Amino acid sequence: VREEIKYSYCTELIIKLRDKNGGTDEVIDSLKKYLESMGDSIVAVNQDDLIKIHVHTDHPGDVIEEFLKHGELQKVKIDNMKIQHDHIVDAKIEEKETYGIGKKHGIVAVSPGDGLSEIMKSLGVDYIIKGGQTMNPSLKDLFQAIERLNSENVIVLPNNPNILLTAREAAAAVMEKNPSKRVIILETKTVQEGIAALSVYDDELETEQLLTEMNEAMEHVVPISVTYAIRDSSIKGKKVRKGEYLSIGKEGLISSGRRLEKVIRDAISSILKTSKEDDYEIITVFYGSDVKEEQAEKLIESLSNDFDNVEFEVHNGAQPYYYYLISLE
């Protein structure tokens, strides 16, 4: 089985480009062509003066040297995929308990908080993998979780863009080992999208109809994630200062500032202003581990007065790093 792995090393880099205005299209295109000559499974994302790359290659050192010509390394991660693959092939599931028994569609989801995990379980998730920002689950974690589901179809909700590639690799490995099991990666990039998809989950539906409805629900929700800046930086040309609160949406930064409630209010307002009056009826707020229940309730009371044409719901998500995860539906 080892020889089926074409390239040995999964290589991920984040480079801070020397050009403060970010890389030119010509530079980025040339780097992508270089990666194509070195391996496969290529992802290259350029944002301001940072470029993040992912490539499967036999020569990670050469890749690093090439990118060092254009800037400074901010992060390096190199995994030996042949060793990982051997671990998967030889893995004996430590937990003998299986999940999703009697279901047509088992559900695996990644969750960053205990409160969010309970909500997802109540909506039909069979197996939760702990993970999220800065704590991405491994290929082995995802592989074993999918393996434990005793259903013919398994739907995986990564709930984070950084987990998508690993989830796809785990799905492919499971289906290679067990061709009768179909594994579908629903490309949820936020917890809010995952919960929206789960809200329409109905195991009685045919697979394609279920996937269509879950995708539509996922695409309709507008997520806002509220965190803080750990350092001075620039996001899509807008400067943010260390310690400022940030509200982040699908397209990036929505608002920032020193007052948390104002940042949240500005973010919601900017979305509602650009939508039709009846586009959104419910705003759901999941508060994090650094927020007390009374603080969250006080925020909801204030927001309800400001936006009296929508209904607010509040839940304890207990997620780290993000004060609030907000869904507009």
Give the per-residue pLDDT at 92: 47
The class of domain 222-328 in CATH terms is alpha beta
**Can you name the residues that pair with 156 across neighbouring β-strands?**
108, 185
Instruction: Calculate mean pLDDT across residues 151-160.
Output: 96
In the predicted model, what is the mean pLDDT of residues 151-162? 95
How confident is the model at residue 1, as a pLDDT? 38
pLDDT of residue 195: 97
Tokens of 306: 């400001």
How many other CB atoms are there within 10 angstroms of residue 270's CB atom? Answer: 15
Task: Considering only residues 228 and 94, tell me which one the structure prediction assigns the higher pLDDT.
Answer: 228
How confident is the model over 247-292, as pLDDT tens digits?
A: 999 988 999 999 999 999 999 999 999 887 678 999 999 999 999 9
Which option is the CATH number for 2-84: 3.30.70, 2.30.30, 3.30.300, 3.90.550?
A: 3.30.70
Q: What is the pLDDT of residue 2?
A: 41
Q: Poorest-confidence range of 56-70, 170-184, 284-298? A: 56-70
The residue-averaged pLDDT of 125-148 equals 90
Cβ atoms of 32 and 44 within 8 Å: the answer is: yes
- The percentage of the chain sitting over the pLDDT mark of 90, rounded to a whole number, equals 63
Strands (E), the chain: 9-17, 39-47, 50-57, 71-80, 105-111, 127-130, 153-157, 182-185, 222-228, 233-235, 238-240, 245-249, 252-257, 282-287, 311-316, 324-328
Output the pLDDT for position 295. Answer: 96
Domain spans, the chain: 2-84, 96-218, 222-328
pLDDT for the residue numbered 216: 96
**Strand runs labelled E in 68-189:** 71-80, 105-111, 127-130, 153-157, 182-185
Task: Give per-residue pLDDT as tens, 67-96.
Answer: 898 888 888 888 887 766 665 555 544 445
pLDDT: is 236 or 70 the higher one? 70
Confidence of residue 223 (pLDDT cuts 50, 70, 90): very high
Give the whole-number percent of the chain exceeding pLDDT 70. 91
Q: Collapsing DSSP states into helix, strand and coil, what is residue 34? A: helix
pLDDT digits (tens, 9 = 90+) for 2-61: 445 678 888 888 888 876 555 567 777 788 889 989 988 887 777 677 888 888 899 999
Q: Domain 96-218 belongs to what architecture?
A: 3-Layer(aba) Sandwich (3.40)
